[in-house]
Amino acid sequence: MLTLWNLQLLYVDDLHLLTAGPDKFLTLWMILAAYEVVGTPFAYHKFKGGLEVDYIGYHVSYSSWSAGVSDSRARWVISWVNNAEEAKWVVVGRTVIELTGRLTFVARVLTWLKPFLAPLHSWTSVLARGTACRMPVLVHLSLIYIRAQLEEGHRLAPAPSKPTSLKQAFRTDAKCEQGESVFPAVVTAGTDNRSNPQENVEADDITNHRFGRFNSALRVEVNFEDLPMSIFNALQ
């Protein structure tokens, strides 16, 4: 049996068993029989199988080569944020710590969550479990965004593909003055923090309204009305 392909994940007392190939069912029964021989106590009424499986809060989809948070866990997060919003963002420390722990666990797969967990970790690091207080603005804004993403169905992430070589995607700059904010980007061009200031001349030129280096036919006109700003509008 040691020559038969199988994958076993064990987390505390939760077993995830994967077999494949023409003898997958035979392999599955042989493995379960081996566990029984050594006296493993299985709760067979909890067994589930298929190509779509929930496992310790994760959802694994072998049919779409993706993984993420289970539907029940996603609905729990959405409900938690809804309840906190109804309470005017006044929460008890222990519940926030529980939420942060669950989201951190999920972020091992849904990596887009990680930047939005930073405010939660910063706050919970100094928050007593028994404290009841109002959330800092940045914390509940992060939760509003996470809720919106889960409500839109972004609870799964595709399996990572073969890594490609890193290269510059664009160069950017920013300027904010009285009555004016500029956020230019030049496609296929580093950032303003490079050691060589000459590397970001194009983005600097756009910031300062110097367009002599550019072909106006390649300019992309963008209006705020054309951008997906629903999440920002919801924060007003």
Q: What residues does each domain of the chain span?
A: 6-68, 71-158, 170-230
pTM over cut 0.85: no
pLDDT greater than 90 at residue 213 = no
Non-local (6+) Cβ contacts of 106 within 8 A are 57, 58, 68, 69, 73, 113
Q: What pLDDT, on the 0 to 100 scale, is given for residue 209?
A: 79
The values of phi and psi at residue 136, to 5°, are -60, 150
The values of phi and psi at residue 202, to 5°, are -60, -45
Per-residue pLDDT averaged across 208-224, rounded? 80
pLDDT greater than 80 at residue 57 = yes
Q: What pLDDT, on the 0 to 100 scale, is given for residue 124?
A: 93
The string of pLDDT tens digits covering residues 128-154 is 999 999 999 999 999 999 999 999 999
How confident is residue 113, by pLDDT bands cut at 50, 70 and 90?
very high
Q: In the chain, where does DSSP find H-type helix?
A: 24-37, 71-86, 93-106, 114-124, 137-151, 201-207, 230-234
How confident is residue 159, by pLDDT bands cut at 50, 70 and 90?
confident
Q: What pLDDT, on the 0 to 100 scale, is given for residue 94?
A: 94
User: End-to-end CA distance of the chain, in Å?
Assistant: 61
Higher pLDDT, 134 or 236: 134
Per-residue pLDDT averaged across 8-28, rounded? 90
Higher pLDDT, 197 or 147: 147
Mode of pairing for the β-strands spanning 180-182 and 58-61: unpaired
